[in-house]
Amino acid sequence: MSMKKVKLTSTGAEIRKKPLKLRIWQSRGFYVMFLPVLIFVAIMYYWPMLGIRFSFYQYKAAGRGAMTWVGLQHFQTMFFNPVKSGAFWNAFRNTLVLSVIKLLITTFTSVIVSIFLNEMQSLKAKKSLQTIIYLPHFMSWAVVASIFSLFLSPSSTGLVNGVLRSMGVVGEGEYIYFLANTAWWRPIYYLINIWKETGWGTIIFLATLSGINPELYEAGDIDGATRVQKIWYITVPALANTIITVLILNLAKVMNLFESVFVLYNTAVYEVSDVISTYIYRQTFATMNPDYGFSTAVGLFKSLVGCVLVLVCNRLSKKTRGRGIV
The string of DSSP letters for 210-256 reads HTS-HHHHHHHHHTT--HHHHIIIIIHHHHHHHHHHHHHHHHTTTT-
Burial class of 43 by CB neighbour count within 10 A (0 to 12, 13 to 18, 19+):
exposed
Residues 195, 313: Cα–Cα separation, whole Å: 27
Q: How does the average pLDDT of the chain come out, rounded?
A: 85
Predicted pLDDT of residue 10: 58
What does the CA dihedral 257, 258, 261, 267 come to, rounded to 10 degrees?
A: 120
Evaluate whether 94 touches 274 at the Cβ level (below 8 Å): yes
Rounded to whole angstroms, what are the CA distances from 185 to 163, 167, 189, 282?
19, 22, 6, 20
The three-point CA angle 39-40-43 to 5° equals 80
* Structural domains in the chain plus CATH codes: 20-69 (no CATH), 73-321 (1.10.3720.10)
CB atoms near residue 112 (< 10 Å): 13
Summarised one tens digit per residue, pLDDT across range 50-73 is: 888 888 888 765 545 567 888 888
Measured distance CA(301)–CA(91) in Å, rounded: 13
Pick out the chain residues at pLDDT < 50: 1-3, 63
Show Cβ contacts of residue 108 under 8 Å, excluding neighbours closer than 6 positions. Answer: none
pTM score, whole prediction: 0.81
- For residues 17 and 12, give the distance between their C-alpha atoms in angstroms, rounded to a whole number: 15
